[in-house]
Amino acid sequence: MKRRVATIRAWGLPAQLLFLAAVVLAVYALVAPLAGRATGVAGLAASATAAALCWLGAATALVISRAFRDPERTLYGVLYGTLLRMFIPLFAALALQLSVAALAEAYLLVYFLVFYPVTLFVETTLSLPQADAPDGRKDVSPEVAT
């Protein structure tokens, strides 16, 4: 399992974004039948909207973390990525909940609670530095860890 995660983390940014999208689509495939059964087409729309917005937030954070990869700016990448990963889905959910009654009645916020942790986990895993990265790009050097 560790090798698979390391292999995925070594992929380029476009491949990682596609992997993130594939994970979101897989979760949507599990959620969609329940959403459709619970509230019909509105439930499908609400769950698809939540999935897309959570993916957008995670994808934006992944791009930002790549843009700030050098050791001097890593903290900026983490901070900006966290802000975007949180605020894109949060503000979109709030705006849609207050302005689109059909989505609100179809439990839009519940679907955000389903998709957000999944995208957070995958995006965070993909953003971590690789174990074989040069010394300046590792989390903790062996000398500090001992």
Cα dihedral 50, 27, 40, 34 sign = negative
Q: What is the pLDDT of residues 64-77, one digit of tens each?
A: 988 888 888 888 98
Spatial distance between the Cα atoms of 34 and 137, rounded to a whole number of angstroms: 43
Q: Which structure tokens are listed for 16? A: 């990682």
Q: How far is CA 92 from the centre of its chain?
A: 15
Listed residue (4, 120, 138, 143) closest to 58, CA to CA? 120
Q: Which structure tokens are listed for 111? A: 């679907």
Q: What integer is the mean pLDDT of 84-100?
A: 95
C-alpha dihedral, 135 to 141 to 143 to 146, nearest 10°? -160
Q: What integer is the mean pLDDT of 102-112?
A: 96
Spatial distance between the Cα atoms of 28 and 48, rounded to a whole number of angstroms: 7
Spatial distance between the Cα atoms of 81 and 58, rounded to a whole number of angstroms: 8
pTM of the full structure: 0.84
Q: Which structure tokens are listed for 146? A: 């001992």
In the chain, which ranges are continuous DSSP H helix? Answer: 2-10, 13-39, 41-67, 74-99, 101-105, 108-127, 142-145
Q: What is the pLDDT of residues 17-61, one digit of tens each?
A: 999 999 999 999 999 999 999 999 999 999 999 999 999 999 999
